[in-house]
Structure 1
Amino acid sequence: MVDEAALASYRDNGYLLVKGLIGKDEAATYRQESHDLIGRLNRDWDPTWGSAKELTMGAATELKHCHDVQFYSAAFARLITDPRFTDVAAAIMGTPNVQLHHTKMFVKPPEKGSPFPMHQDHPFFPHTKDSVGAAIFHFDDAPVEKGCVRVVPGSHKNGALQHETEGSYHLPFSEWPLENSVPCEAEAGDVLFFSYHTVHGSGTNTTDEARTTLLVQYRDPEDEPIGDSHSQSLGQGMMLRGIDPSSRALGDR
């Protein structure tokens, strides 16, 4: 559980890096699980945003990923319901109940792992109460050179911002340059929590090792989505902690 000082920092800055939430041996196990899953899927589709080329001067990069990882490996189902994680998410939201929105596992390959331009998660799945948060589990070390997540402290206080849609949702490069953000360098086992209003992005992995992370988007179950964007995530509505007081049918999520 995080203390009040950490929660105050989250409220002020819009993000919180929790050091060593899981052990390094655990992180190594999940890293192997992630790479084994990528190997089994053998997918050609690359989810790199078209706008990422603005950050690489047109150079080609690549990204490997998988949505809804808990449906492919029980190890991830155990991780997303682990109280070490869900207790922090509950404390951040100020509710005893934590509901899953979706999961995504990312592997940035060595030397050319794709960056993400600065953006908010809000445009992809807006909600009425803005309780939606993200947690990024680091399964290996993520220094700047590996393309770690970068944030703009306090940006969540601006609410929803206007994004450009060409090449994918992203904020204007002239107003939100990646280099002006704060790098959140992390070690294996660290988890980065942030609001879906927090402006964030990441750089290119230029090292000779992959960068492996799991993104878990969660919400208060009483926070209703606006529209049906991102409604196809198979696990959406799963309770990770507590109960769903809203008693809404799964089809209404």
Structure 2
Amino acid sequence: MVDPGLGEFYRDNGFVLVKGLLGKEEAEAYRAECHGVLGRLRRTDPTWGSARELAGGATELRHCHDAQFYSAAFAKLMVDPRFTDVAAALLGTGNVQLHHTKIFVKPAEKGSPFPMHQDAAHFAHTSDAVGAAIFHFDDAPEEKGCVRVMPGSHKHGLLPHIEEGGWHLPLAEWPLEAATPVEAEAGDVLFFSYLTVHGSGINTSDEARTTWLVQFRDPEALPVDDVHRSRGQGMMLRGIDPTMRLT
């Protein structure tokens, strides 16, 4: 049974941090799984150009799209009722559909930031029943570049973004330091609307910050454009797809 207070907080603020959704040992195992997957892949750095401007110097980010195709552990986690029941409660539907997944690791001392943005700018849908969950597999205090959010910003709809440098909001108008840091512990999961303005700081600590993102939606929320396709997109994580469309 999902605490009704989570939904109320989410609707008011556009995000909610669920403490201890995973146990510490589980989180540690998934941390190792993330680094194992990244170790087997050809290294690429997806740091946005605007993030380098924000950082004022060289930073680094490691990532992997669609982790469930490289490790069965992630396929298991994304259909775990502990996660999908919360996702369903926040969307207000019994049906939860996959959009995409992504591992993000910010290396120690120079982990790249993300300027403030809305996920909706990257893949708009016909309704706002689209959300994300960030699983924390190690602690994420402010010095490790934790996620920062603007509470209530989801109520303003889709805002104009700057395309150059990674589809971000104007840096001067949306400074990262003005946003609320959401510090988390290993096992915590941060849920937020794809309209919530958010970003994250530089990891200046001596330990990597390891997270896994699952972007999910109500299957009746249709993509506006044919963008951001991913392997497995449209897979049902909970319930059914009443639209019976192919993607």
Name the TM-score class by shorter chain: over 0.9
Q: Does 1:144 align with 2:145?
A: no
Of 58, 61, 78 in structure 1, the residue corresponding to residue 59 of structure 2 is 61
Using the alignment, how far apart are the partners of 2:160 and 2:219 within structure 1? Answer: 26
Alignment of 1:48-197 (within 5 A): 48-57=47-56, 59-197=57-195
Distance 2:158 2:211 in 1: 26
1:153-208 Cα deviation digits (max 9, x unpaired):
00000000000111111001111100000000000000000000000000000011
Matched, 1:243 2:236: no
- Deviation per residue, 1:204-228 (Å, 9 max, x gap): 0001100000000000111111011
Q: Could you tell me how far apart the structure 1 residues matched to 2:104 and 2:232 are?
A: 17
**Superposition deviation, residue 2 in structure 1:** 3.0
Deviation, structure 1 residue 229: 1.0
Q: Which residue of 2 aligns with 1:46?
A: 45
What are the ranges of 5 or more consecutive residues in structure 2 without an aligned counterpart?
Answer: none
Secondary structure class of the residue paired with 1:16: strand
Residues of 1 paired with 2:115 and 2:108: CA distance? 19
Matches of 2:69 and 2:86 in 1, distance apart? 23
Q: Secondary structure at the match of 1:32?
A: helix
* Aligned mates of 2:26, 2:2 — CA distance in 1: 20
Write the letter of the residue equivalent to 1:89: A
Identity, in percent, stands at 72
| 1:34 counterpart = 2:34 | yes
State the distance in 2 between where 1:131 and 1:71 align.
Answer: 25
Q: Secondary structure at the match of 2:85?
A: helix
Query: How much has 1:54 moved relative to structure 2?
Result: 2.4
Shift in Å, 1:3: 1.7
What is the Cα deviation at residue 42 of structure 1? 3.2
- 1:221 alignment counterpart: 219
What CA distance in whole angstroms lies between the structure 1 residues aligned with 2:18 and 2:140? 14
Note the C-alpha offset of 1:135: 0.2
Q: Which residue of 1 aligns with 2:17?
A: 17
Asked if 1:234 corresponds to 2:225, the answer is no
> Which amino acid in the other structure matches residue 224 of structure 1?
L
**1:76-118 deviation line (CA, Å, top 9, x unaligned):** 0000000000000000001001000000001100000000000
Structure 1's consecutive aligned runs of 4 or more residues displaced over 2 angstroms after TM superposition are none
Aligned length: 247
Structure 2 counterpart of 1:226, one-letter code: V
Distance in 2 between residues matched to 1:168 and 1:191, nearest whole Å: 25
Could you tell me how far apart the structure 1 residues matched to 2:187 and 2:153 are?
26
Using the alignment, how far apart are the partners of 2:207 and 2:42 within structure 1? 20
